[in-house]
Amino acid sequence: MLKIAVCEDDRNFIDLIAGELNLFFSKKNLEIEIFSYESAREFTKSLEYNEYSIYFFDIELGADDGIELATKVRIMDKNGIFIFVTNKSERVYEVFDINTFAFVRKSNLEKELPVVMNRLMDVIEIYTDNRLIKTHNGDIPMTINDIHYVERIGGYLYIHTDKHLYHTRYRYMTEFPFEFDNKIFFEIYRGLMINYSHVICVKNESVMMKNGDELPISRRRKKEFKEMYKKYMLSL
């Protein structure tokens, strides 16, 4: 299920956005849950008990600034998808400093939002595609976004997720149910494939992952990795 946060100080626009989202995703047979907030404070409080995949923010939130709010959220959530719905089109360039997915004008919402959502489906399909991974403890359902990195140990491939390590029955990357697209994964060391979306920071000789692991980068692959990771970050 996709959790979507809508932070907008105008209840009429909240209802309009929610209506468009429910209509769009129902046609795609995707289950969503929408959480609406009329202030930055109310939304920020919700982060104590909720995590979201997609954020819809207005730029003007009463006395608060939606761009500043999104900037703070981006520090905590590197993978969140941000879409601004606003009348402040003169500030469009500011929102792309935080890897914003799209900017929708309130005056043209019913026309522009479906276009944005169709673009977004390409991203969503990747992260909601659930497949069975064959492990030594049975078959485990997993999406590609669950995988932080894969490494080869003793001839077998191991999957590292947020909290678990899975010993798979696969010996080669080509045996996996998923294709390790170079737009999402990179082999930073021989037999060590990482998911860009779970990288916290890149150091000179290593990368820090969200699950707390620090992984070495091969000297001969370091330059290419940093270039590819930069392209990935700019594409968000």
CATH code of residue 35: 3.40.50.2300
33 three-class SS = strand
CATH code of residue 198: 2.40.50.1020
From 128, 146, 178, give the residue that closes a domain: 128
Mean pLDDT of 153-167: 94
Q: Are 30 and 94 found together in one domain?
A: yes
Q: Are 66 and 22 found together in one domain?
A: yes
Mean pLDDT of 131-159: 94
Give CA–CA dist 17/36, Å, rounded: 10
Given pLDDT bands bounded at 50, 70 and 90, which one contains residue 87? Answer: confident
From 128, 162, 190, give the residue that closes a domain: 128
Q: Are 109 and 187 found together in one domain?
A: no
Q: Are 11 and 71 found together in one domain?
A: yes
- pTM exceeds 0.85: no
The residue segments making up the domain with residue 201 are 132-235
The per-residue pLDDT for 165 is: 96
The tens digit of pLDDT for each residue in 70-80 reads 999 988 887 78
From 96, 128, 160, give the residue that closes a domain: 128
Q: Are 128 and 31 in contact (CB under 8 A)?
A: no
pLDDT at 68 over 90: yes
Domain count, the chain: 2
Give CA–CA dist 108/105, Å, rounded: 5
